[in-house]
Amino acid sequence: MQRSIGNKAWLTINRECNLRCSWCYAQSRGYDNSLVIRNEAIERSLKLFKELQIYNVFVIGGEPTMHQDVCGIVSLIKSSGFNVSLITNGLKFCDVKFLNDLVDAGLDMVGISLKGCDQDKYEKVTRFDYFESAMVAIGNVCKSKVSHDISVTVSNEDVESFTSLLQDLKKMDVKRLSIDVERPFFDSKTICDVDESLAIKARMLECLFSPLENCGVEYVFNVRMPFFFFSGGFVEKLIQHGRIVSGCQLIGGNGIIIDTNANVLPCNQMHEYPLGQLGVDFATGDDYLAFRKRKDIDSFYKAMNACPNAKCVDCQYWSYCGAGCRFYWFRDSGNNLLHNSIS
């Protein structure tokens, strides 16, 4: 059977967290420390990934470093023949031994998400006074041999502090940066919008281009907003410079996301809407590919692929943008887009 499911898998190992980010898409799971993936589900997931010829596994949560056996999980994934990356708020890497243990266990890449550009913003977003710790942790990761990507979530008031943060990150020898903004998310099946002013957010991102181009660190803008919010020329500039990561996973349906209950999710944000469960709805790679062709699943992806706005129909950037993160559209259509496509 043809395998066309992409080359990335996300394994959600827990839901506990040491922060409380105001826009965290996982918050409706209550950061419950009893929500932990079972070893058997990890083993089944790895078998499935192999059968689907997916060899890049991203360990996520909650905060995955809070899992008491995160080293054992990383070691199991690595020794089963996968590249293994960890997506984390990084705080636990203040402890260099903990970081080294994970690297020795086989960790290939760390993605640290920094939740604000300075102390005040970090605390406002996360409700904890840990900005300095996050910076120490980033410094430790930069000094270690593991490869890294530092993702900075910026908000409208951050332009000035962003420039000074860039200088600090450069001094630490950060190799790669991603620039992100928070997106709307579900809170118990209701869309929560963190900030209505997408046009203002777009202007703010545009202001970051020059400081980033001049800072000497490799970077990309992680753009999930529909491109029409940006001023003429900005997106073209990012594309020309190879500085943009865009699109929505719901459109391509690529990759596979497993949550703590071994459910397969259509997107990390959609833990309230699992597609099916490993071991119940499918077990092998062939089962899964057949499951993806089931009428209801196929209709769901067709609905997600449909162009949600007339503005986008003839847009030359459709293949990059795809009208952006579907959560912006769920919001504007009162979730109808979703309810019409998921039973």
Ligand X SMILES: C[S@@+](CC[C@H](N)C(=O)[O-])C[C@H]1O[C@@H](n2cnc3c(N)ncnc32)[C@H](O)[C@@H]1O
Binding site for ligand X (CB under 6 A): 17, 23-26, 60-61, 63, 87-89, 113, 151, 153, 182-183, 185
Compute the least distance from the CB of residue 284 to ligand SF4, in Å.
25
Compute the least distance from the CB of residue 327 to ligand SF4, in Å.
5
Compute the least distance from the CB of residue 172 to ligand X, in Å.
18
Cβ proximity to ligand X: between 80 and 178 the closer is 178
The option from ligand X, ligand SF4, none interacting with 153 (CB < 5 to 8 A, set by class) reads ligand X
Cβ proximity to ligand SF4: between 155 and 249 the closer is 249
Nearest CA-CA partner of 42 in 15, 8, 77, 4: 77
The option from ligand X, ligand SF4, none interacting with 116 (CB < 5 to 8 A, set by class) reads none
Determine phi and psi for 280, rounding to 5 degrees. Answer: -115, -55
Cβ proximity to ligand X: between 17 and 275 the closer is 17
Cβ proximity to ligand X: between 224 and 292 the closer is 224
Cβ proximity to ligand X: between 271 and 292 the closer is 271
How many residues are there in the chain? 343
SS3 60: strand
Determine which helix (DSSP H) or strand (DSSP E) holds 179, and give its type and residue range: strand 176-180
CB atoms within 10 A of CB 85: 24
Compute the least distance from the CB of residue 238 to ligand X, in Å.
19
What is the rounded distance in angstroms from the CA atom of residue 264 to the CA atom of residue 266?
7
Compute the least distance from the CB of residue 236 to ligand X, in Å.
25
Do residues 149 and 111 touch, judged by C-beta distance below 8 A?
A: yes
Determine which helix (DSSP H) or strand (DSSP E) holds 88, and give its type and residue range: strand 83-88
Do residues 11 and 37 touch, judged by C-beta distance below 8 A?
A: yes
CB atoms within 10 A of CB 42: 21
CB atoms within 10 A of CB 171: 10
Cβ proximity to ligand X: between 25 and 300 the closer is 25
Cβ proximity to ligand SF4: between 45 and 249 the closer is 249
What are the Cα distances from residue 281, in Å, to 256, 264, 275, 297? 14, 10, 9, 12
SS3 242: coil
Compute the least distance from the CB of residue 133 to ligand X, in Å.
14
The option from ligand SF4, ligand X, none interacting with 182 (CB < 5 to 8 A, set by class) reads ligand X
The option from ligand SF4, ligand X, none interacting with 60 (CB < 5 to 8 A, set by class) reads ligand X
Cβ proximity to ligand SF4: between 75 and 126 the closer is 126
Determine which helix (DSSP H) or strand (DSSP E) holds 74, and give its type and residue range: helix 70-79
Compute the least distance from the CB of residue 294 to ligand X, in Å.
28
The option from ligand X, ligand SF4, none interacting with 191 (CB < 5 to 8 A, set by class) reads none
Where b means 16+ CB within 10 Å and e means fewer, 6-19 reads: bebbbbbbbbbbeb
Residue carrying structure tokens 């990383």 = 74
Q: Token pair for residue 21?
A: 């980010």
The option from ligand X, ligand SF4, none interacting with 223 (CB < 5 to 8 A, set by class) reads none
Write out the residues near ligand SF4 by the rule CB under 6 A. 17, 19-21, 24, 26, 61-63, 89, 183, 224, 248-250, 267, 269, 325-327
At CA 321, angle to CA 316 and CA 322, rounded to 5? 90
The option from ligand SF4, ligand X, none interacting with 151 (CB < 5 to 8 A, set by class) reads ligand X
Determine phi and psi for 27, rounding to 5 degrees. Answer: -65, -30
Compute the least distance from the CB of residue 314 to ligand X, in Å.
29
Compute the least distance from the CB of residue 41 to ligand X, in Å.
18
Cβ proximity to ligand X: between 23 and 219 the closer is 23
